[in-house]
Structure 1
């Protein structure tokens, strides 16, 4: 609750600040009496103390705390925060000392985290980072997701510990209407080699695909809109929700035809054919696959051979 946090903040403040207990008590009495007259509750009183403590740390420390608020309530690697403020880790020691000294952050392993959920909430709501800091933070995690996904199991283990941070950042991009950053991060999380897909984090994968779709729509990027729709269809198909997958494939097909993208059109028809095959609707499946094959042959796509194989198998079963 608010009061245990307030007691800790007050104790740490008196240890760090050049202020006597009597001076702090006088300020506290005046401030809290004023707050009580306005009908505030304990959590808001805790926020008053937080503001007092935060005011004592330097600008770099406030930037770091604000960035911690943009991530999940779990330890944050110093490297990511250093990248966000565009300073080497060695130059952040004073900021860390101040935040630790005032009880705003605590050290956990190689990372830092807010000492209390209310501090994390305060940082998120009241210490919004500069646009440049936020963009660099997103860029750091985008690159982390992209490069570590290429390393196989060692990379997946690394990213598993960062997953909550990355998903919270993606949500933050949407909330701030940073559509370009949201789309780039969504792609890093959802391509065929992404750790979300390969490790079976289906809830997060669907969330990332939907975020990418929203961003593409806001940017009026029809190709990426179709691509995210196709990938949503594939994800739902993998989950056994074939009817829902068909709805996404049909939307992707409509976009492919609208923008004249033959590769996407052929792929969408192929996906529809496989979906109808899974539902036992053989005639529909054959029709879609024949259309897909014609397109792939016309554009000289190597996918033609695979689609031909699917067709031969289907027709063989139908004639058996």
Structure 2
């Protein structure tokens, strides 16, 4: 029984109680590491057999048969491998955890045909070409830094995708927002495509959009800003950026959701200088927790806040001290 990076060779006997059920339904139960669509394709291609014979997905079983998968994984992507440096936090035969830098796009698309994380994965891990999206299961925006997990096998990819769907994967972000928050809270608002600006997302009217839940707590307050920590239940496009803007606390430097630069009145020169040069959203994925696809144990990683955000936080912290205002830390 093997599941390598480029082939799968596994068998399972059909329990008698699963008799009189469709082959594709039984196979999905017996091989839960693989998606239903993948299993159906293997059946159609003759790579999933019943007692050595080919069946159709809808054919019913008796019970007691042996299902055997002998599948060769073909390259899924046509993108080019590129020698792009990656900051690998952890890797084994099943997953890779990457600390993504600011400026790196995750997946090729319109306007970014190359130079992405996917291109880098194809270079450093050539076997990832056999996986959908080279094993990528979730994304970070181009100018958001921090932790991402990538699968190295189909089974791992299925497991990680299921954890994301069930909202059991723990992802926490550090963010610096405009305005002084009085406390933490939860934003439970659906998100959908903006009705007029197609490059933006927005909180959608009731009954529209996809469910999105963001929890946030205050880490430190400043004169005109707040450092918070956000925890996602869902993973919608631009979720933290949209939600915080919606409640009136957009991220510092956010080019899409902060509106026109709203520099506070009377801000000191040092803070002003840092705010002017901070040209990306102040958001960093600092904590990642998940169930390891192979061992089933909970594992977690931390990634330090990058230098540009640290400089911003330090300047805001010093400004708070110099004002003589009451400083609260949590």
TM-score grouping bracket, smaller chain normalisation: under 0.3
Which one has the bigger helix percentage? 1
TM-score by length of 2: 0.26
**Higher Cα Rg: structure 1 or 2?**
1
TM-score by length of 1: 0.27
Which of structures 1 and 2 has the larger relative contact order (alpha carbons within 8 angstroms, sep 6+)? 2
